[in-house]
Amino acid sequence: MKKVLVTGGAGYVGSILLRELMQAGYEVVCVDTLMFGGDSLIDIWHHPQFTFHKVDVTDFEALDPILDSNDFFAYVHLAAIVGDPACKRQPELAQKTNWEASVHLLEKARENKVERFVFASTCSNYGKMADPGGMVKEDSPLAPVSLYAELKVKFEKLMLEESEKSPDFCPTSLRFATVYGLSHRMRFDLTVNEFTKELAMGKTLVVFGEQFWRPYCHVSDFSQAIMTVLEAERDKVAYNVFNVGDTAENYTKQMIVDEILKQIPDGKIEYVVKKEDPRDYRVDFTRIREELGFAITKTVPEGIAEVRDIVSLGVVQDPEEQRYYNIPHGE
Ligand SMILES: NC(=O)c1ccc[n+]([C@@H]2O[C@H](COP(=O)([O-])OP(=O)(O)OC[C@H]3O[C@@H](n4cnc5c(N)ncnc54)[C@H](O)[C@@H]3O)[C@@H](O)[C@H]2O)c1
- Ligand 1 neighbours, Cβ below 6 Å, are 7-8, 10-14, 31-36, 56-58, 78-80, 82, 97, 120, 122, 176, 178-179, 185, 187, 190, 326
What is the pLDDT, as a whole number, of residue 278?
A: 64
Which residue, by CA, sits nearest to atom 11 of ligand 1? 78
> Facing residues of 252 across strands?
213
Cβ of 107: how many Cβ atoms within 10 Å?
A: 11
Distance of CA 200 to the CA centre of its chain: 24
Cβ of 235: how many Cβ atoms within 10 Å?
A: 8
User: For the structural domain made of 180-215+248-278+298-324, what CATH number should be given?
Assistant: 3.90.25.10
What is the pLDDT, as a whole number, of residue 204?
A: 97
Rounded Cα distance between 298 and 310, Å, is 17
Whole-number Å distance, alpha carbon 14 to ligand 1 midpoint, is: 8
What is the pLDDT, as a whole number, of residue 134?
A: 87
Comparing 3-179+216-244 with 180-215+248-278+298-324, is the CATH topology the same?
no
Instruction: List the chain residues with pLDDT less than 70.
Output: 276-278, 331
User: For the structural domain made of 3-179+216-244, what CATH number should be given?
Assistant: 3.40.50.720
pTM of the full predicted structure?
0.96
Domain ranges of the chain: 3-179+216-244, 180-215+248-278+298-324
Q: Determine the length of the chain.
A: 331
Rounded Cα distance between 176 and 119, Å, is 10
Q: Which residues contact 232 (CB under 8 A, 6 or more apart)?
A: 292
What is the pLDDT, as a whole number, of residue 331?
A: 57
Tens digit of each residue's pLDDT (9 = 90 or more) over 45-99: 999 999 999 999 999 999 999 999 999 999 999 999 999 999 999 999 999 999 9
Atom of ligand 1 nearest to the CA of 57: 32
What is the pLDDT, as a whole number, of residue 279?
A: 73
What is the pLDDT, as a whole number, of residue 104?
A: 98
Whole-number Å distance, alpha carbon 271 to ligand 1 midpoint, is: 30
What is the pLDDT, as a whole number, of residue 259?
A: 98
Q: Could you tell me the maximum CA-CA distance found in the chain, to the nearest angstrom? A: 58
Whole-number Å distance, alpha carbon 39 to ligand 1 midpoint, is: 15
Which residue, by CA, sits nearest to atom 34 of ligand 1? 32
Rounded Cα distance between 297 and 282, Å, is 20
Rounded Cα distance between 90 and 33, Å, is 16
**Closest Cα to residue 163, out of 109, 124, 126?**
109
